Amino acid sequence: MSVSLKIEKEYVQNSERVKSVDFHPSEPWILLSLYSGSLCIWNYQSQTVEKSFKITESPVRSAKFIAREQWIVAGGDDKFIRVYNYKTLEKIKEFEAHEDYIRCVAVHPTLPYVLSASDDKLIKLWDWEKGWECTQIFEGHSHYVMQVAFNPKDTLSFASSSLDGTIKAWNVGSPAPNFTLDGHLKGVNCVDYFTGGDEPKLVTGSDDFTAKVWDYHGKTCLQTLEGHKHNVTSVCAHPELPIIITGSEDGTICIWDACTYRLENTLNYDLGRVWDVGYKKGSNQIAFGCDNGTVVINISST
């Protein structure tokens, strides 16, 4: 039984290169982090920019809403983490977090924790209730750590992807990885937890032009998704729709059936390389950050 999808392009915001996208959980906002060193909150319903401000001269590769605090947290190439109140744009905190570029920040769903991943090969855990103290350093990767993601089913664990070609699983209380998944032929840019189905799975994307689905209890690769013609930069296993979404430097977005792993659709909005994919929980809206802007689409199962 193949999944039947209806895909509608909803909104496009043209801008300079977008490195990350993050939906606000309740407002019609997407947070964009830009290669130019700016952050932008785009209201995709009114098609207006709510806020736009420069935070550094270097690329900002990752930014996330911390909605329960009305904050934004961002990390970039100047090695700093910065936190702002998104209502007032007051700077809450700024500190040098790593010794090299920060590739990713991830916010814990309930606890006052932020993970950061860096080209210094380290992952760090920050506790904002302890004044943004670093409470754990995770060591084990031998190349740049490109992305980290909390496990939605066990939020004291997380996964990381690295240009060393591996994916590692961790617990927040231990500095060493629980285990390593190895199977991509080149560096791994992105990782996401796949919550559909019974067995716990991960999906990853690599510079070998493929994405892979893993059973992380069995520590095996279940499927290799082949269809992109360049590096896979972003992966997203949608928690409510039966799809996996991948974005690539080839400028395309691929939509895969999460049950059969069949390629269902290839989308191209002529916005250049795709750098990030995000979804809004409880909705069918998905956003892509690209070289030349952001596109929001609506996907529904028909």
Please give the angle made by the CA atoms of 195, 239 and 222, to the nearest 5 degrees.
45
Q: What is the pLDDT at residue 301? A: 80
Helix (H) or strand (E) holding 81: strand 80-85
Tell which residue, 181, 203, 220, 214, has the closest CA to residue 254: 203
Euclidean distance between CA atoms 260 and 282, whole angstroms: 23
Determine if the pTM surpasses 0.75: yes
Q: What is the pLDDT at residue 289? A: 98
Tens of pLDDT along the chain (302 residues) come to 467 889 998 999 999 999 999 999 999 999 999 999 999 999 999 999 999 999 999 999 999 999 999 999 999 999 999 999 999 999 999 999 999 999 999 999 999 999 999 999 999 999 999 999 999 999 999 999 999 999 999 999 999 999 999 999 999 999 999 999 999 999 999 999 998 767 789 999 999 999 999 998 899 999 999 999 999 999 999 998 999 999 999 999 999 999 999 999 999 999 999 999 999 999 999 999 999 999 999 998 87
Euclidean distance between CA atoms 98 and 83, whole angstroms: 15
Q: Which residue has the tokens 């690295």?
A: 162
Q: What is the pLDDT at residue 140? A: 98
Q: What is the pLDDT at residue 100? A: 98
* Rg (the chain; Cα; Å): 18
CB 97 within 8 A of CB 85: no
Amino acid found at 195: T
Tell which residue, 160, 153, 134, has the closest CA to residue 195: 153
Tell which residue, 15, 11, 16, has the closest CA to residue 28: 11
CB 264 within 8 A of CB 243: yes
Q: What is the pLDDT at residue 5? A: 87
Bridge partners, 226 (sequence order): 210
Bridge partners, 53 (sequence order): 39
Q: In the chain, what's the furthest Cα-to-Cα distance?
A: 51
Q: What is the pLDDT at residue 196? A: 72
Q: What is the pLDDT at residue 4? A: 81
Cα–Cα distances in angstroms (integers) from residue 143 to residues 118, 129, 181, 223, in the given order = 9, 31, 15, 25
Tell which residue, 132, 138, 135, has the closest CA to residue 162: 138
